[in-house]
Structure 1
Amino acid sequence: MTIGESEKRERDAIRVLVVDDQQLVRDGIVSLLRVQAGLTIVGAAGNGQEALDQALTLRPDVILMDVRMPVIDGVTATAQILKQLPDCCILMLTTFDDDAYVRDALRTGARGYLLKDMPVADLAKAIFAASRGVYQLDAAVIERIVAPVGATIKPTTEQPLAPSPTRTGSVTEARLTRREQEILRLVATGATNREVAERLVISEGTVKNHLANLFSRLGLRDRTQAVLYTREQGLL
C-alpha cells in the first residue's frame, strides 16, 4: 500500500471515541477496535464530562458511550453532546439492559443500545451500520422491550386501534387496521421486511409501503421507535 493509499484509507475511516469509566474495559475496547479495518480510534474518555470535552475537540463520527459513569452519566452526556453536535452518532455500550436506561438513551437521541458481551466483530458492524443511520439494538434489549413475544403475540382484533393521544401531529387522527397491527407486531419482534412478507403472504414491496405509511401517520422515525410505540399501545 502506498503512502497516498494509506492516507486515503485513514481519511475514509470512521472516527470513534470510546467512553467508559473503567480503564481496563476502556483500554480493551480501544485495543480490539483499533485493529478493525475502517475504524480509527481518535480518543478515549473516562466520564461524561470528558466525553463532552473530547467530542467538541475531536469531532468523532461515532461515540461508544457507557451509561453509568461519574461526574456526568452517559445519557446526560449524550443529550449535551447531541445538542452541540447533532450529526454525531452515539451508541450506548454498557452492561446494563434496564428498560429505563434503554428508553432514556433512545429518547435522548442515541443511535442504539448495545451490551458489552457482544463479539467485537459484531460491535464493529454495529458501528458501521449506525454511522449510516441504522439504529442498533442488542437482541437482549429487544427481548426486554417487547418480551414476551413470539408465541405469546396476541391475535389481532377486528376493531382498529386508536393511537396514543400523547403523540403529536396527525397521530391522534390515525387508526390502525388489522393488517397494520400485524405488521407492527412482527416488526417489533425484530422481523425483517422479507420475513414479515413471508409470514403474512404478501410482497416485500407491500410491507415497505405499509411501513412508510405507518411511520408517516404515527410520527415514527425508524423501527426502534416502532418497537417502543407497539409496546406502549399494548399490541404485544
Structure 2
Amino acid sequence: MKILIVDDDPLVRQSLKLLLEKESDIEVSGLAADGQEAIDQCETRLPDVVLMDIRMPNVDGIDSTKQLKAKWPELHIMMLTTFKDEQNIRLALQAGAEGYLLKSTAVENMAQQIRALMAGGSVLDADVLKQIMEPEVHDSISELTERENDIAAAIAQGLSNKEISEQLFLSVGTVRNTLSVVLDKLELRDRTQLAIYYWKRGK
C-alpha cells in the first residue's frame, strides 16, 4: 500500500518514512510539510493512506482532510498527532478521518492500524476514545440481537468486515448487511460512530 506522510516537522517525516518502509507491504510514496502540499501530492502520487498531522502552517490537517475527502472519498486518512483533546478529535472525525492515533504509538502497532484502516476498520487510540463525547443517542443497544451485538463488539475492536466474517463464521455479505441494520437501529452514521457509541456504553 502507498502512504503519504504529512507533518510540518522534517525529522518526524523522515523518521516515520524510515520506520514504516521496514514493513514489506508499505511504500511511502511521498512526504508533505502542510495540508496544501498533501493535496498537491495526492493529485500526482495517488496514495492509499494519508498519515495527517493536525496543526501545520498554511493549510492545517483538518482543512486538508475535508478537501481530500471531498475530492477522493475512497482515500483513507489517519490523523497522527500529539493532540488528544476533545475538540481536535471531534473536528478530525467530522472532517472525514477514519482513524486517530497518537504519535506515541509504537511503529509496529501503527503499521497494524494502517492495515486495519485499509481493510475498512475504524482506528481510534484507546486514550482518544476516553476524550470523545458524542451527542447522546437513544438507548437501543438492548434491542440488538446476539449476532448484531457480536458484530458491534467486533467493530468496536477495529476489525474489518472480512476479519469479522472469519471470526464469527459468517459471510462478508451477512456482516455488511447486519452492520447496516445495527447502524439503523442505533441511528448512527458509520462504523466509527458505532465504535465510539459501544465503548461509551461500557459494553
Structure 1 residue 36 and structure 2 residue 23: aligned? yes
How has the CA–CA distance of structure 1 residues 123 and 163 changed in structure 2, closer, same or farther, with 3 Å as cutoff? closer
Match of 1:70 in 2: 57
How has the CA–CA distance of structure 1 residues 235 and 36 changed in structure 2, closer, same or farther, with 3 Å as cutoff? closer
Amino acid at match of 2:190: R
Give identity over the alignment, percent.
36
How has the CA–CA distance of structure 1 residues 136 and 69 changed in structure 2, closer, same or farther, with 3 Å as cutoff? same
For residues 87 and 53 of structure 1, the distance between their equivalents in structure 2, rounded to whole angstroms, comes to 17
Match of 2:76 in 1: 89
Tell me the secondary structure at the aligned position of residue 130 of structure 1.
Answer: helix
Where in structure 1 do 4 or more consecutive aligned residues deviate above 6 Å?
A: none
Structure 1 residue 176 and structure 2 residue 140: aligned? yes
Match of 2:164 in 1: none
Structure 1 residue 221 and structure 2 residue 185: aligned? no
For residues 177 and 41 of structure 1, the distance between their equivalents in structure 2, rounded to whole angstroms, comes to 41
Instruction: State the Cα deviation string for residues 22-68 of structure 1 (Å, max 9, x = none).
Output: 11111111111111110111100000111110111111000000000
Amino acid at match of 2:189: L
Structure 1 residue 137 and structure 2 residue 101: aligned? no
CA drift of 1:192 comes to: 8.2
Match of 2:86 in 1: 99
Does the CA contact (< 8 Å) of 1:145 and 1:227 recur in 2? Answer: no
**Taking structure 1 as the reference length, what is the TM-score of the superposition?**
0.67
Q: Structure 1: which 5+ runs fail to align?
A: 1-13, 147-161, 165-174, 194-203
Amino acid at match of 1:226: L
Structure 1 residue 52 and structure 2 residue 39: aligned? yes
Does the CA contact (< 8 Å) of 1:19 and 1:64 recur in 2? Answer: yes
Does the CA contact (< 8 Å) of 2:153 and 2:198 recur in 1? Answer: no
Selected match of 1:117 from 98, 104, 122: 104
Amino acid at match of 2:193: Q
Q: Structure 2: which 5+ runs fail to align?
A: 160-167, 170-174
Count how many residue pairs are aligned between Structure 1 and Structure 2: 183
Tell me the secondary structure at the aligned position of residue 69 of structure 1.
Answer: coil
For residues 179 and 59 of structure 1, the distance between their equivalents in structure 2, rounded to whole angstroms, comes to 42
Amino acid at match of 1:221: D
Q: Structure with the greater relative contact order (CA < 8 A, sep ≥ 6): 1 or 2?
A: 2
Higher Cα radius of gyration: 1
Tell me the secondary structure at the aligned position of residue 60 of structure 1.
Answer: coil
**Taking structure 2 as the reference length, what is the TM-score of the superposition?**
0.77
